Homo-oligomer: A and B are copies of this chain.
Amino acid sequence: MKRRRNRAAREREILEAAERIFGERGYQRTSMDDVAAEVGVSKPLIYQYYGSKDGLFLACLARLRIQLLDTVSDAVLAAPDAEDALYAGFVAWFEFLDDHPQAWSVLIDEGMLGMSPAAGPAAAATDEVRAAFIELITAMVRMNLAPGRTVDEDEIQIIAQSISGATERLAIWRSRIPAPPSPAKVARTLQDLLWQGLHTLRNP
């Protein structure tokens, strides 16, 4: 006869198992029965706590998102100036993903880059994660822009979206090749690529 636990503890236990299994097999290949079996609990209990498969996945995503966003934000805020902030943000991003490979799997597996507009509630939450990053990037872009220049909102958005897309794709690329360049190397190349442009944007 198995010992019962209170709800909060069980939820945590389920979440940890889900994070691990989603990380290993991806969203599609993970069944709720798998998670239930891993925790040693029956499926309906998970439904009671998380509502649906999407709900469970979202809960995993939320945790990881907070960790990642905090890590990057902290690095950015700790930087002495605008140029360093951008670089530090890049480094923090790639290092976090190196250090949390399973987190990464969850984030990309139709969590972060499965940007499918019509692919269920998970996609919506994913957009929320990304929106937070875009906001952070937008702030940095503003700080980095040539002083005294007027640059319109569209341009800032275009740049922020580009940087977001670039870092996401780079992360995926790095995770799939045998000997990826170091976070510092990637961050520096990105920095070199963008720095000049950010300071010399023509007016519209």
Q: Using a CB–CB distance below 8 Å, which chain A residues touch chain B?
A: 25-29, 105, 108-110, 113-120, 154-155, 157-159, 161-170, 172-173, 175-176, 181, 185-186, 189-190, 192-198, 200-202, 204
Contact = CB atoms under 8 A, between A and B. Distances in A.
A172 to B, nearest CB: 6
A119 B25 CA distance: 9
A166 B176 contact: no
Given A161-B166, A194-B197, A109 B118 contact: yes
Contacts of A167: 165
Main secondary structure on A side of the interface with B: helix
Contact of A116 (B108, B161, B165, B166): B108
A162 to B, nearest CB: 4
A163 B168 CA distance: 11
Given A115-B114, A154-B181, A120 B28 contact: yes
Give the 5 A-B residue pairs with the shortest CB-CB distance, closest first. Answer: A165-B169, A196-B196, A26-B118, A162-B166, A193-B197
Given A117-B175, A158-B181, 20 more contacts: A28-B120, A108-B115, A108-B117, A109-B116, A110-B119, A114-B116, A154-B185, A157-B173, A158-B170, A161-B170, A162-B166, A162-B190, A165-B166, A185-B204, A192-B201, A192-B202, A193-B197, A193-B201, A194-B194, A195-B197
